[in-house]
Every structure is written in structure tokens, then in C-alpha cells.
Amino acid sequence: MLKRLSPKKFLVAVVATVGVLFTVTVLLLGLSPPKKKFLPYDAELFSKIEGSSFEGFNNVTGTPDGSNIVPNYVHFIFFENSYITYVTAVCVLAAFKNQKPEKIFFHTNVKEFTGPHWVKIRDTLGPVLEIKHIEMPRTIYGQKLREDWVPWHAGDVMRIRVLMQYGGIFLDNDSYVVRNLDVFRKYEMTIGITDGDYLGTQVLIAHKDARFLKLWLECYRDYNPDSWYYNAGEKPMREILAYRPELVHTVKTLLGVHGLTVRLYNWDSWRNWRLYYSIHLVIRLRKHAETWWHYMLWPSIDETNICQYEKPFGEMAREIYSDFC
């Protein structure tokens, strides 16, 4: 004799059954999300860097005499947003203090920056700061960039173009320079690796003629608007560096482009942050790293509360920009 189910258990059973039927239907109809496909070795692609002045260069040891070939320039890109946040100011000022660059370039499509932190940056950097007004690209090789991701995908493209024009050090607006990066300026190009073994785009150090830059830009001929990081970080690793790792100097952890948010915003203490050369703060994902109750107390971190913020990022920020404490 069948046992009668309670209304609650009956509902659970119905939902589970519907879920199974939906999954089976999707699989039968071939509606499951397509897996990302990466191309095999492309001889035509790699022929584009034949005859490069860096042909045969050793990116394991760098220049034979240890001399620097990457200019001591730092580049930031600002699209659409004129207001400089406190966290961005911390990162710009950290680059100025710890890298001591000849120039810090702001590449931007905004007419004029605003806010008290912009004034702090302008007055502190003085002639080291140079503003370069540029257009924000909306297409790449005739393909429209995804509309709701344009500022970010445009930034991915422009960081390659900026480095191809000037060379130097590109930093995301939330990348914090912990100590001088000159040790990497003797290489053709230096990249960090993310947790997923993809290219970390947040800290890049390159000569303007670096071979990888040219090939990386070519990856955008097959632009995927449905993936946040496909062209920026996945495709170049799987289709270029998987076959030609010697094109770059690879840093597994010390450029800090892998996941460090829990240590920054959840741990009570993290002394080893000073061992890194740079750290990507990933400030927009802080809420996923902190406990919910702590995030409720600190929904934002800025000049109004940085003096009291007790997690490791607070120490890092105050060391650079503590005018309010």
C-alpha cells in the first residue's frame, strides 16, 4: 500500500522530477552550453612574428647583462568614469611610491577627472602624470564588442595596444604595487598566472615590440562576446603560450593575480603580503570573500572608514594613503 506524502514532500518530489526531466531533455536536444574550443597549433599565426628583433631571446634569464629593456612607465586605463575612487587612488599612489616610474599615464576617454582623490593624485604625481585622451573602442576587427561589457572588453584590447605603443607596466585600477618591479624589466614580457592557469591581465610588463603582444591581439579576430575572459585570458594561454611558452617570462604567484581576496578581506592578519611584487585587490568581489555580517558592517571601503578597517587590506591602504586617519 502506497504511503501518502505530505504536501511539502510532494512538492519536493515534483521539483526534483521536473529538474531531472529538464536535464534529460536538454541533453537529448543538444541544448547544453557548448564547451569552449581552442584551436590547435596555427603556423600561420606564429609566422606573424618571424624576423622579430626578439627572435631567440631568452625570457628565462632575460638580457645577457641584466640591463632593463622595458621602459619605467606605468599605464592605467579609465573608460567612462571620471570619478577617482579611494581604492583606485591607493593603487595609483602605490605605483608612484613603490615603482618610482618616469611616467604614469592615464589613458582615458573622459574629459576631466573629478573628486578629492583625483586632486591628491594630481598634486602628488606632478609632472610624472601624463593624461592621454583616447577613444574607447567598440569594435575589434569588424566585430562589435558586447554592449553591456564594452568598457571592460575595450580595456582588455586597449592594454595590449597601449603596451604595443609605449611599452612599460600596465596595471588594472585595483592592482597594488607592493615593491619595485624593476627585476622584470630585463625580460621581453612578463605575465602572472591566475588560479585557473590563465593569463592574468591585471599586471603586465612588456617591451613595446614583445612578440606575444602582437599574437595576443590577433586572438581577437575570433572574438567571443559570450565569455568575460575568453579572449583576454583563456584563448592566448591555450593557443599561444601552450605552444610557445618561451615568448614570455611567467610568474606563478608573486604578481598576485590569482585569488587572494580571502586573505585581503577575511583574514585578521596576513604578514606575507609584503613578499609579493604586486597584488590584484579584486575589490568588486570583496563581498564574496568576507563573512556576510562583516560585509554588512563594511559595505564599502573608502576615506570615511579606512582608518578603522582592521583586515589586511586596511593596513595596505593606510600605508599608502592615510590622510584621513
Amino acid (one-letter) located at 215: L
Q: What is the pLDDT of residue 291?
A: 87
DSSP state letters, 144-177: EPPGGGHHHHHHHHHHHHHHHHH-EEEE-TTEEE
Burial of 237 (0-12, 13-18, 19+ CB in 10 A): buried
Least confident of 11-20, 108-117, 246-255: 11-20
Q: What is the pLDDT of residue 163?
A: 98
pLDDT digits (tens, 9 = 90+) for 23-55: 434 334 444 445 567 778 899 999 999 999 999
Q: What is the pLDDT of residue 26?
A: 37
Amino acid (one-letter) located at 267: W
- Residue 110 has a CB neighbour count (10 Å cut-off) of 16
- State pTM to two decimals: 0.88
pLDDT digits (tens, 9 = 90+) for 189-219: 999 999 888 999 999 999 999 999 999 999 9
- Pairing relation of β-strands 103-108 and 129-133? parallel
Q: What is the pLDDT of residue 289?
A: 86
pLDDT at 66 over 70: yes
Q: What domains sit in the chain, N to C, each tagged with a CATH number?
A: 44-251 (3.90.550), 260-319 (no CATH)
pLDDT digits (tens, 9 = 90+) for 68-92: 999 999 999 999 999 999 999 999 9
> CA geometry: angle at 319 spanning 178 and 152, to 5°?
55
Interval 157-174 mean pLDDT: 98
Q: What is the pLDDT of residue 33?
A: 46
Backbone angles phi, psi at 294, to 5 degrees: -70, -35
